[in-house]
A and B are shown apart, each in its own frame.
Chain A
Amino acid sequence: MAAPEQLVLAASSADAGVAAWDLRTGGVANRYHPCASRPRAVFSVADRFLAAAQVATGGGNSGLVHFYHWGKPQVAVKSFPAEPIHALIADPEGSYLIGGGSNGNIFLWEVASGQLLHTWHGHYRAVRCFALYDYWLVSGSEDGSIRVWDLITMLDEQSRLNAKTLYMYNFSQHALPVTDVACFLGGIAVSSSEDRTCKIWSLPQGRMLRSISFPVSIDSVALDSRGHIFYAGGRDGKIYVAAMGVDGSTDGSDDILGALDDHSKAVTSLASSTDGLLLVSGSEDGNVRVWDTRSQQVIRKIKHSQGPVTNVLIVTPKNVNLPPLQPLRKVCAENVEPQSVILPRSESDVPTLGYKTCAYAERVLDAIQMHGDSSILFGGAGGPNQQGTDWRSRYLELQDLFAGEVLDQLPSSRSN
């Protein structure tokens, strides 16, 4: 089991499965079959299992989502949502799975039960990408709009009815399809679009902070874990490095700090490691590259398949005892209570208990002290304890003598 190590996962839109490599060594760790996914349609659910929405396979208009366990190469559970799913995301605890459909519908499933908690029409055209900030969902669509949804509101019928619009914000500054979106601390979101711009948003304030122009369409973004720069994967195969902040002294022309140039085709997917030192990129040329962000050099080049790589992820698989995975339901069930299953957090072995004798002794001795007479506590017993009532007086007589003796004798016992 590759429990502590980080894996690089890559999936293709051609049916090449999901390949997993060790991030440090580059050794093949596993390969999950079959899988053919669009960009942003593969997600690691709280690092407990892998969910991948499949590209529509002609027959029928329902979608297909595969679940894979880390340890097993084959599909664990297949689900058939109402429409093909183009984008997938799960909350950090892995309680909910959110899918964006080809018709612009958004589906919210409860992972534990597979129940479809709610579905709503989010966009006019297909949903392309998601990001989560706390329980705010940011969705980007083919129609160029970005919408922010408050999941708390979306999950309650009354609140939905009370709300003027279902979404909290609707950003329509992008002129062409939104390709990717990522969130950072403080509700900062970065979106990329085919309109050759990336835009930075403040979600709490509900407005665009600024827009950065690129020479080509941008297919993917990844934030550096330290938050000062972000990477934008261009259709020309370059990964542009752009500054998040703007230097007041200049006119903003140097927003783009540089570019990592090694892919021959569009960079479709980017993932930044948690320490900010590595960047993983997947391209339509079928390759996955691992970059050292400091030297800006490729440190590993991995061939995935002939087909284009659409998703790269960095995951740290957690092997916990999961309740059996449930397939995602197609329709909202009427009046079914969300199941609210508490998942085990971590398996602790033998519980260790503290000792209590001393605390107990202190308590009892204190009580005796307070009563001033131990016979109250010990009284009522038969046999020799009848004498108990005499003890207190005897104590008082003997205490000084006794304690004095002990103290006197202690040093003398040393020399024995």
Chain B
Amino acid sequence: MAAPGGFLAGVKDPWLKVRLLRAVVTERLPQPGAELPQAEVASVLEAVRTHGLLVESLPSGSPDPKLAEAWRAAVDAWVERVVELVDSDWTYSCWLGTLFLGLTVQECSNKRFAVSYSNWFEKILSNLQEPSGVQLISSVSCTSMRDLFARLAKFLNLKKEASSFAGRVVEPALRLLNGNASVAAEAVDLLTSVIMLYPSSVNRHYNKVESAIVAKVMSTEVVVKSSEKFSRALALLPSVRVSEDSWSLMIQKILIMVNYLLNDAFIGLEEEKKGHDIMMLLVPAGTNPPPTLGDQLRPGGNCDVDQSLSGSGSVKVPMRALIALIRRVLLVDGSLHKKLFPSTTSLHQELICFELPSLHSIFLDLLNATIKGMRSQLLPHAVSIIQLITEYFKMATFPNLRTKIYSIVQLLLTSTGIGTSMHLLQAIVSNAVADLNCSGANDTTIISTNASKVTSEPSSKSYSKKRKQEQQIQNSVVLSSEKAAISPKKMKGSYVSIASKEMTPETTGDVRMLTPLSVRIAALETLEILLNVGGALRVDHWRSEVDLLLINVATSACDTGGYYEQKPSTVEEPSISDLQLASLKALLASFLSSPHARPPYLARGIELFRRGKLEIDTKLAEFCSHAALALDVLVHPRALSLEKASPVGSGLNYNAPEKAVFGAGKSPFLPSTAMEAEDTYDDWLAPTKDEPAEAPVNDQAIGTNTAVTMSNDSRHLALITEDPKNVPLRNADAVQDFPASTTGDIKMEDADANEIAKSNKMDNPSSSNSVLAPPCTTKPDSQKHLLPSSPEQKPTEYVSHLGNKSPGVNASSSKPATSVEAPVVPVIAASSHQAPGVNSTMLTELFGSESSEDSFPGIVDADPDSDYSS
């Protein structure tokens, strides 16, 4: 060991601490009345904590009395100076001293603490009791006092003294709580700690504490964040009383109070009787209602129950009333109830509607906490909660509320397992599909108007059904795109489409209305959990739909997101990278829970994981290597199958199981001629080979008729080349889509087409490169040409949108090129132009259906499947 005056042995040498502490005391700690800049304060705090200057713990083995003595003296000097500061009349010195005292309390040795804690307590207490205390002094005193108790709680032998101290603190803390709002946060912190550590000492102040906290919770001047703190204190309060009933009583009181509040707030917006019904649940006839909790109240800040639910002790919870209450709030949508109250004013309604999102958010939190707290006890109420969630899904339009309802669903799924997943399957799938379906379009910056649709009516049954069908359309095209890209006929389609793309109404104003990333991530996470829990459930055909959706979402997320960016850990808005991760996670769940030996999209999924793995040192790469490991078992099965191998599920041909499923007649879309497609495959591929370079000709192929023919041709090609299982669906959809085509459909088609473009980009960049290059040059031409054709179809709408539309498209076609890695830029630039191409396929198809039946004979000649469309 180094000598006291000489050089140190290194940074570990305890003498360093002694010397540093001496230096700090003599040179940094100010005299009372003097000052210390903030930077200095921070550096002193930092020095003391990092080096453990006050710890006074000697290295074991070689006790050095000289060192011990020196250190003790140095700490003595520190404490002396700090106490001087606390005693000072100068506000700043006093503040500083109390702050450092708090630090000392936390850092000093056990022995020193045991000797001096009562002294320190008195010092801080006198600060607190100062009637005209400065805010900052009060707040720092509360914090230091809190730390003193936190430390004191570790000395079990001092428990008696500690609780008598705790009793003395309650009064001044309450005074602060009732007084200045800015100190209230620290005061309630102190109070909470005391309640937690020494409940008995608060017992005689119970009523006072309760009313003080309730007043704070209800007062309007408190921000929501700190109001949570108060709520937590209130929730802890029953632990002061020994009886277990006090918890139930507290919950009951709170519920009654909230119910009264809602009676006033929701007047005219709901049935009159609701409040009364809940009251009846809370207070069974014949028993006396418990004393009310407080008087002046406002709706909001009612998350109190959360904490008590997760608190300890066995608590009886009036679940029915609680759920009824939550239901009551969540189902208020701000619209007037049929029986209009005379007292309801439009102003009142406006106010309520203004508050409604935050109110809903709070009650969703409450529902979340309830599910968490109740655990298995929830079972008898599970159905009512499930119903509530299903209903609320239809109402939830705000992104944060949607995210929350998704997280509640996740919680419910994980806690109650397969039973719930069966009940909620429908709701989850339809909502998630609606939320996720537009994702492809959004990411590639083509801001399609269908997104707004999704947010505005995400769960209307018919709507999501339509979306499902389109999803399948999209799928079929995506799968076919690889081969379709080679076909010249496809090229024709793409030409026209570039132009017709311009017809799609697009408004930049819709940017805000896109399904936000946070919602899509929540939807993906929910799907992941659903697959984990109930992936094997055989109800309808949700699996094929969800699997398809997930592979498409993952593909588009990975394509559009470019490089995965590792974010700093700070909480911020989710980025596309989070979407990538969430989509890949859900994809893995889809693979692992697949009922088939080889999930249908395994190859594409593996490719995505392989690519993700390359993003070294990110969460994505971490997850992708995990996925690779997990999938390994799937790819090279080591476990034996539970079933004897049947000829159907050979596993070699991934189509087989799907086919078997569809063949079983379960699909509602299944036409009788489902499997014909395979035979026509060759027929259809053959003619296309004969006309290799027809692309330029397409410049003239502007007329509606030709356009329709071409697009339909290419479309059938698409059909044929893809996975047979989709053919029947596709055709069935086509039939349904034709009569039903509206502008909304066109918009959606647009989004889907975009999806196709991306898959092209991924699947077959090289082949599409050469063939696709020409369209770029001809694009402006065809654009112009098609403009006149549009009024035929929908004169008013299309024309009106022309103006604001073209900029959006330009952006759309250029952006994908830039967002992808450099080496492949030419390829992508070319293929990205194909997006509008496929687009028009859809659009013209709609034109055909709308304009005249004349256009169809052309198809019928060429198309064996035309029975469907005509």
Tell me which of A158, A360, A395, A410 contacts B383 (CB under 8 A). A158
Known: A187-B536, A209-B643, A385-B91. A341 touches B134 (CB 8 A): no
Complex interface: chain B residues within 8 A of A369 (CB): 38
Within 8 A of B (CB), among A146-202: 150-153, 155-156, 158-159, 186-188, 200, 202
| B111 in contact (CB, < 8 A) | no
CA distance A244 to B639 in the complex (A): 10
CA distance A84 to B276 in the complex (A): 43
| A59 in contact (CB, < 8 A) | no
B150's nearest neighbour on chain A, judged by CB, is A353
| B42 in contact (CB, < 8 A) | yes
Complex interface: chain B residues within 8 A of A91 (CB): 376
Q: Are A353 and B136 in contact (CB under 8 A)?
A: no
Tell me which of B33, B95, B314, B420 contacts A341 (CB under 8 A). B314
Tell me which of B92, B140, B377, B422 contacts A360 (CB under 8 A). B140
CA distance A339 to B22 in the complex (A): 63
Q: Are B41 and A361 in contact (CB under 8 A)?
A: yes
Complex interface: chain B residues within 8 A of A341 (CB): 314-317, 377
Closest Cβ–Cβ distance, residue B246 to chain A (whole Å): 14
Q: Are A135 and B379 in contact (CB under 8 A)?
A: yes
* A-B pair number, CB within 8 angstroms: 258
Q: Are A344 and B376 in contact (CB under 8 A)?
A: no
CA distance A230 to B595 in the complex (A): 23
Q: Are A204 and B538 in contact (CB under 8 A)?
A: yes
Q: Are A95 and B379 in contact (CB under 8 A)?
A: yes
| B283 in contact (CB, < 8 A) | no
Tell me which of B90, B99, B139, B642 contacts A245 (CB under 8 A). B642
| B614 in contact (CB, < 8 A) | no
Q: Are B316 and A210 in contact (CB under 8 A)?
A: no
Q: Are B28 and A406 in contact (CB under 8 A)?
A: yes
| A380 in contact (CB, < 8 A) | yes
Known: A134-B417, A350-B154. A345 touches B374 (CB 8 A): no
Tell me which of A246, A350, A388 contacts B643 (CB under 8 A). A246
Contact flags (1/0) for B99-113 with A, using CB distance below 8 Å? 100110110000000
Contact flags (1/0) for A344-386 with B, using CB distance below 8 Å? 1100101111111110111011001100001001101111110
Complex interface: chain B residues within 8 A of A391 (CB): 35, 92
Within 8 A of A (CB), among B1-50: 5, 8, 19, 22-23, 26-28, 33, 35, 37-42, 45, 49
CA distance A355 to B104 in the complex (A): 11
Q: Are B382 and A152 in contact (CB under 8 A)?
A: yes
Known: A356-B146, A357-B147, A360-B140. A134 touches B416 (CB 8 A): yes
| B335 in contact (CB, < 8 A) | no
CA distance A407 to B640 in the complex (A): 72
Complex interface: chain B residues within 8 A of A385 (CB): 90-92, 134
Complex interface: chain B residues within 8 A of A364 (CB): 136, 139-140
| B808 in contact (CB, < 8 A) | no
Closest Cβ–Cβ distance, residue A212 to chain B (whole Å): 11
A375's nearest neighbour on chain B, judged by CB, is B92
Q: Are B95 and A338 in contact (CB under 8 A)?
A: no
CA distance A205 to B419 in the complex (A): 13
CA distance A204 to B154 in the complex (A): 51
Closest Cβ–Cβ distance, residue A176 to chain B (whole Å): 23
| A337 in contact (CB, < 8 A) | yes
Complex interface: chain A residues within 8 A of B149 (CB): 353
Q: Are B144 and A244 in contact (CB under 8 A)?
A: no
Known: A342-B374, A394-B35, A409-B27. A204 touches B536 (CB 8 A): yes
A412's nearest neighbour on chain B, judged by CB, is B23
Q: Are B103 and A351 in contact (CB under 8 A)?
A: no
Contact flags (1/0) for B164-207 with A, using CB distance below 8 Å? 00000000000000000000001001000100110000000000
Q: Are B377 and A406 in contact (CB under 8 A)?
A: no
Q: Are B644 and A252 in contact (CB under 8 A)?
A: yes
CA distance A338 to B374 in the complex (A): 12
| B156 in contact (CB, < 8 A) | yes
Tell me which of A228, A248, A337, A399 contacts B39 (CB under 8 A). A399
Known: A204-B418, A245-B639. A155 touches B143 (CB 8 A): no
Within 8 A of A (CB), among B403-462: 416-420, 422-423
Q: Are A415 and B320 in contact (CB under 8 A)?
A: no
Q: Are A135 and B38 in contact (CB under 8 A)?
A: no
Interface of A is mostly: mixed
| A295 in contact (CB, < 8 A) | no
A228's nearest neighbour on chain B, judged by CB, is B639
| B380 in contact (CB, < 8 A) | yes
Q: Are A205 and B642 in contact (CB under 8 A)?
A: no
Complex interface: chain A residues within 8 A of B784 (CB): none
Contact flags (1/0) for A76-101 with B, using CB distance below 8 Å? 00000000000000011101100000
Complex interface: chain A residues within 8 A of B37 (CB): 395, 398-399, 402-403
Q: Are B89 and A245 in contact (CB under 8 A)?
A: no
Tell me which of B91, B146, B314 contacts A342 (CB under 8 A). B314
CA distance A355 to B45 in the complex (A): 14
Q: Are B314 and A343 in contact (CB under 8 A)?
A: yes
Known: A95-B379, A337-B319. A403 touches B91 (CB 8 A): no
Tell me which of B40, B144, B379, B533 contacts A357 (CB under 8 A). B144
Tell me which of A246, A351, A361 contacts B641 (CB under 8 A). A246
Closest Cβ–Cβ distance, residue A408 to chain B (whole Å): 10
Known: A202-B536, A403-B37. A323 touches B642 (CB 8 A): no
Known: A151-B379, A353-B193, A388-B91. A361 touches B42 (CB 8 A): yes
Tell me which of B40, B49, B422 contacts A402 (CB under 8 A). B40
Tell me which of B91, B150, B533 contacts A381 (CB under 8 A). B91
Closest Cβ–Cβ distance, residue B182 to chain A (whole Å): 10
| A206 in contact (CB, < 8 A) | yes
CA distance A152 to B45 in the complex (A): 56
Complex interface: chain B residues within 8 A of A360 (CB): 99, 102, 139-140, 143, 186
Tell me which of A96, A248, A362 contacts B645 (CB under 8 A). A248
Closest Cβ–Cβ distance, residue A301 to chain B (whole Å): 33
| B498 in contact (CB, < 8 A) | no
| A294 in contact (CB, < 8 A) | no
B416's nearest neighbour on chain A, judged by CB, is A135
Q: Are A350 and B197 in contact (CB under 8 A)?
A: yes
Closest Cβ–Cβ distance, residue A49 to chain B (whole Å): 15
CA distance A356 to B38 in the complex (A): 18
Q: Are A374 and B92 in contact (CB under 8 A)?
A: yes
Known: A93-B376, A151-B419, A357-B99. A350 touches B156 (CB 8 A): yes
Complex interface: chain A residues within 8 A of B602 (CB): none
| A133 in contact (CB, < 8 A) | yes
| A25 in contact (CB, < 8 A) | no
B383's nearest neighbour on chain A, judged by CB, is A156
CA distance A156 to B320 in the complex (A): 13
Q: Are A153 and B644 in contact (CB under 8 A)?
A: no
Q: Are A403 and B40 in contact (CB under 8 A)?
A: yes
Complex interface: chain A residues within 8 A of B416 (CB): 134-135, 152
Complex interface: chain B residues within 8 A of A377 (CB): 135-136
CA distance A252 to B640 in the complex (A): 12
Closest Cβ–Cβ distance, residue A202 to chain B (whole Å): 7
Q: Are B147 and A355 in contact (CB under 8 A)?
A: yes
| A216 in contact (CB, < 8 A) | no
The 9 closest A-B pairs by CB, nearest first: A245-B640, A134-B417, A357-B102, A156-B383, A204-B536, A353-B150, A93-B376, A95-B376, A135-B419
Report which B residues bind A (CB closer than 8 A). Answer: 5, 8, 19, 22-23, 26-28, 33, 35, 37-42, 45, 49, 89-92, 95, 99, 102-103, 105-106, 132, 134-136, 139-140, 143-144, 146-147, 149-151, 153-154, 156, 186, 189, 193, 196-197, 281, 309, 311-320, 373-384, 386, 416-420, 422-423, 533-538, 595, 639-645
A to B CB contacts below 8 Å, 21 in the list: A93-B375, A117-B380, A150-B422, A155-B380, A209-B642, A337-B319, A338-B377, A340-B319, A342-B313, A344-B313, A344-B314, A350-B197, A353-B150, A357-B143, A361-B103, A365-B42, A383-B89, A391-B35, A403-B39, A405-B27, A416-B22
4 new A-B contacts at CB < 8 Å, known A356-B147, A398-B37: A135-B420, A203-B418, A341-B314, A356-B143
